[in-house]
Amino acid sequence: MENTFNQIFEALQYSFIQRAIIAGSFMALGCSFLGIFLVLRRFSLIGDGLAHVSFASIAIALLLHAQPVIISIPLVGLASLAILKLNEKTKVYGDAAIGLVSSFGIALGVIIASTSGGYNVDLFSYLFGNILSVSTFEVWITAALSLLVMLIVILFYHDLFSITFDEDYAQVSGIKVRLINRILILLTSAIVVLGIKIVGTMLVSSLIILPAISALQLVRSFRSTIILAAIFAFLSVSIGIFLSYIFNLPSGATIVMVNFIFFAGAFFLHKVKG
């Protein structure tokens, strides 16, 4: 035990660990603020769909030798609006719209990667995440966008709450449902892009889904669920970073596995209390 604490203390001396914890903490908070709304609206898989689209945007950015985050945020944002438009204006429902756009994104990314020299190390790291390689620029942009997400959720909390449980009633009550839906979907696209460096395109949706459903096992108050999801998300990222450093494990997969352990524990407690 003492040796483990020494290794944690040693890890905290490195700047890359410090950057990983700061970026991961802000990312965890942003995901937890959005996750509960997406899970309860049965729209949580949009994170997975937008992650596939982001794979194409990252391939484009690496091809152009540009900063992936700067290129990905607007492109993935447009893809999220396309999903919403397909859901509203056509007979393509939510899950099918997500599948349509995500399959296009992953196919486009594969084509771009193959024509630009294949899967290089940078592109591979975005597939499975590498939070320990987060740059100072990525820390700042993650902090700024995560704070923006939390601020907007707080400002539009009552509107989001109403739409989550009864969209028709919210519409009759004078809430601008379409506007709020677009705000929610754009915030989700930004969070997804930020999460790619942390856990990768293959696992980013887990940061949105797992903390929320873990919290839902234990509490019923909406605000309490958000707070508990934020705690689960923060702990899973922090513990995952230290475990990946100590045992030389893939950081993204380790974070997700810690998240899953929290879910398993919450599910067990729910069954015991139930």
Ordered by where they begin, the domains of the chain are 2-273 (1.10.3470.10)
- Provide the pLDDT confidence category of residue 120 given band limits of 50, 70 and 90: low
Compute the average pLDDT of residues 69-85: 87
Report pTM. Answer: 0.87
Would you say 195 and 27 are in contact if contact means Cβ atoms under 8 Å apart? yes
Compute the average pLDDT of residues 244-254: 87
Tokens of 131: 């939070």
Compute the average pLDDT of residues 262-269: 94
- Provide the pLDDT confidence category of residue 262 given band limits of 50, 70 and 90: very high
Question: Per mean pLDDT, which range of 100-104, 118-122, 188-192, 222-226 is the poorest?
Answer: 118-122
Model confidence over 13-61: pLDDT tens digits?
889 889 989 988 998 889 889 989 988 887 777 877 888 888 888 888 8
Residues in CB range of 78: below 8 A, 6 or more apart: none
Separation between Cα atoms, residue 257 and residue 260, nearest integer Å: 5
- Provide the pLDDT confidence category of residue 213 given band limits of 50, 70 and 90: very high
Helices 222-247 and 204-216: crossing angle in degrees, nearest 10, is 130
Compute the average pLDDT of residues 249-262: 90
User: What is the average pLDDT value for the chain, to the nearest integer?
Assistant: 85
Q: For residue 94, what pLDDT is reported?
A: 59
Separation between Cα atoms, residue 129 and residue 175, nearest integer Å: 38
Q: For residue 64, what pLDDT is reported?
A: 83
Percent helix / strand / coil, the chain, rounded to 5: 85, 0, 15
Q: For residue 260, what pLDDT is reported?
A: 94
Separation between Cα atoms, residue 131 and residue 49, nearest integer Å: 21
